Chains A and B, each alone.
Chain A
Amino acid sequence: MNFDFSDDQKQLRDQARKFLAEKCSPKAVRVVLDGKAPYDKELWKGLAEMGFLGVAIPEEFGGAGAGHLELCVIAEEMGRANAPVPFSSTVYLAAEALLISGSDAQKKKWLPAIASGEAIGTLALFEGKGNPAPKHVKLTAANGVLNGVKKPVPDGAIADFAVVAARTGSSGRDGDISLFLVDLKGAGVAVKSLSNLDPTRGQAEITFSDCKAEPLGAAGEGWSILTQVLDRAAVLCSFEQVGGSDRALEMGRDYALDRIAFGRQIGSFQAVKHMLADMYVSATLARSNSYYGAWALSTNAAELPEAAAAARISATQAFQHCAKNNIQVHGGMGFTWEFDCHMYYRRANAMALGLGSLSYWEDQLINRMRKKNAA
């Protein structure tokens, strides 16, 4: 049994950590946090040059052709650094949708552009309140044009193209939904930035008015493709969440060692020690669940749907837990704009909703466990 990353993959992780420590300091994150730039363009360029954007994209489409385990270790570092770039929307959502269902021409057009950092992509799924469900998709596709409004769309204001979920039928079944590829720089697209919990990753409302679109995947297959995309993204996001959890835990631990109150290190009080021990427990459970998700993703195992849901729930809980208690360990200073604690708190809570909220994934997990038991 080797339920661990290989030495090469660990080396890649170290390389990514070093690169991000240099290029993505908290100071750099703050440029985006303070609204001075929509994302960190220099970092995005650097990630492309390092080959990180296309690490799981096959070589024939301009990527490094490594694989999803390599992408997982990079994702962990992106989360640890709280990187203010459209990595998850472009790499986990748009690129994965193309890899699963794109035609050869579509892949040739967009994947090399993703790998080189020239194109930012996203998935336009949600239309206001609610978790992923076919019934919530109201945007229509007819005669090659889309009409409707999507929100929130992650990184929608800076994206060059989007995978859009559209209604092509009214039978009340999953087959009513189809996917389309849209060049967001074309006609019939109106984009509005939305204020959101985590300004280091934008959210937008996109209105499509008789907007030209080309089908992605077969008609009526949209929901089945989306389910696969969301499962893959759940595993990849879980690694970002694991990285963020570890960083929040480290920040809390370091502060507990430095800060003196009542004449001693606050980390010598059991109330603080035990809070940090519980954060370690959450982070460890999340890491182990995410490793299983990584195995299932990289081998395209039948266990992927269940593994993805478990990784999603566990990592979401861990990141929220570590981020909020990191602030608590810091006391009043943790609640200032100046300290970095709130960046992780914001990211943790935004990520908890992005692919559908916890209650959605809890439901998915139980459905999938029942299915397995029935089989």
Chain B
Amino acid sequence: MNFDDTPHEAEFRATARAWIGANAPKQYEDELRKSSLGRTALKNANILEVAKAWQKKKADAGWACLHWPKEYGGRGSSPIERVIWSQEEGPFAQLSRMFIIGHGMCGPTMMAFAREEHKRTYLPPLASGEKVWCQLFSEPAGGSDVAGLRTRAEKDGDDWVVNGQKIWTSGAHYSDYGILLTRTDPTVPKHKGLTMFFLDMKSPGVEVRPIKQASGASDFNEVYFTNVRIPDHQRLGEVGDGWNVSLTTLMNERSAIGAAVSTGFPELFEYCSSLMLDDGPAIEDRAVRSKLANWAVKASGLQYTSMRAISALSKGERPGPENSIGKLVAGSMIQDVATYALDLQGASGVVSGEDGELAGRFQAMLLRAPGTRVEGGTDEIMRNIIAERVLGLPGDIRVDKDVPFNKIPTKGR
């Protein structure tokens, strides 16, 4: 048991560190380091432009999408090299957030299902950040139950004509392309009538409307499709096989091993270490210490769980299922941490933004936190996944499994 790099890993790390040291946009390092959930904007720069510039620079030097094949804009790296890179990239990895969906989900789906000429055309600019991609799966009628989606695609000559609405689409407002899951046959059971496409987000009939979230910010969008034409050669996988294609996309979500999940604990510990309460320093208070200790072991437990997965990668093995706990634990924890930080502030905890304590850091965290427990799989879906795939418990009873889609009830009452 040790935390040492192999000689090859050490060499790779040194090369990556040297390149990052010489090329990263250091002027933003401090701000990026201090960013936390709900607050990642840069004060005097457009984070989108800074992120695109950093991504392009990485791509030009061969440091973009490390695990992708070279011919598609990647580096052909091993999984462990990718982890080492992200460790070395540190706070600058925050700048990759806008590319996560494109690089983590759309790219791999294109690689698995797109025609060769499309891969060579679309993947390199996706890797370099010159083009941004989004994923159009969720709908008002299909969130956790994504196979319940209703957006229709109907064949018309060599094209498909798409009508419907998507929702919760991260980054659609700055995306150039998207992968789109549609219903092509409503007369068969829901999982069997789906088909996947990719499309140009500037196509006529695509309308993106940012959603004003409960936090006040807008990270997600509604996307409306009105008679949008998509050529058949942009279909990914067979007609009616969209569900299996989407599973490829969703499985790639798991590849984000080693990416640190945000728990809010380091921020809270730092805060409590200097905070004065009526009776003395917060860190000396029995109740505060107990809370901190309980969160500390969750945060360290997640960190070491991730190290176990990295160790498996380092040995060329597949990581075990234990990494599936990360999002579930971190999501509700950061919400609880933020709530407690405000409790410690007393009545003034109500003040948010620049006038608030620490410029409203924990207030912003509290308001953004509910989203973390929903996006990318709700807490309840994550528990189902653990129960079914890890513990081998039975799947939920699905009353709509064998019913033609157009016969499934659409209203509760």
Question: Which residues of A pack against B, CB within 8 Å?
Answer: 1-6, 69, 249, 253, 256-257, 264-265, 267-268, 270, 272-274, 276-278, 280-281, 284-289, 291-292, 294-295, 298-299, 309-310, 313-314, 317, 359, 361-363, 365-366, 369-370, 373
Contact = CB atoms under 8 A, between A and B. Distances in A.
Nearest to B291: A362
**Contact size class for B?**
35 or more
A1 B307 contact: yes
A276 B293 contact: no
Contact of B4 (A1, A284, A359): A1
Contact of B304 (A265, A288, A373): A288
Contacts, number: 159
Interface string B308-348: 10111011000000100100110000000000000000000
Given A257-B393, A274-B380, A288-B304, A3 B329 contact: no
A270 B1 CA distance: 38
B323 to A, nearest CB: 9
Contacts of B395: 268
B392 interface: yes
6 contacts: A3-B304, A265-B394, A270-B396, A280-B391, A291-B304, A314-B297
B386 A280 contact: yes
A253 B393 contact: yes
Contacts of B397: 264, 268
B130 interface: no
B11 to A, nearest CB: 15
B386 A277 contact: yes
Given A253-B393, A280-B390, A362-B293, A314 B301 contact: yes
B352 interface: no
Interface of B is mostly: helix
B290 A310 contact: no
Contacts of B304: 3, 288-289, 291-292
A277 B393 CA distance: 10
> Which 5 A-B pairs give the minimum distances between C-beta atoms?
A285-B301, A362-B293, A288-B304, A273-B387, A277-B383
Given A268-B394, A276-B391, A288 B294 contact: no
B298 interface: yes
A69 B2 CA distance: 12
A285 B393 contact: no
B302 A295 contact: no
Nearest to A289: B301
B386 A1 contact: no
Contact of B328 (A267, A281, A299): A281
B202 to A, nearest CB: 42
Nearest to B292: A366
B305 interface: yes
Contacts of B383: 270, 273-274, 277-278
Nearest to A249: B391
Given A4-B312, A69-B1, A366 B393 contact: no
A284 B393 contact: no
A288 B1 contact: no
B1 A295 contact: yes
Given A273-B383, A274-B387, A289-B301, A3 B396 contact: no
Nearest to B322: A284
Contact of B310 (A1, A314, A362): A1
Contacts of A1: 2-5, 9, 307, 310-311, 314
Nearest to B382: A277
B86 to A, nearest CB: 14
A289 B297 contact: yes
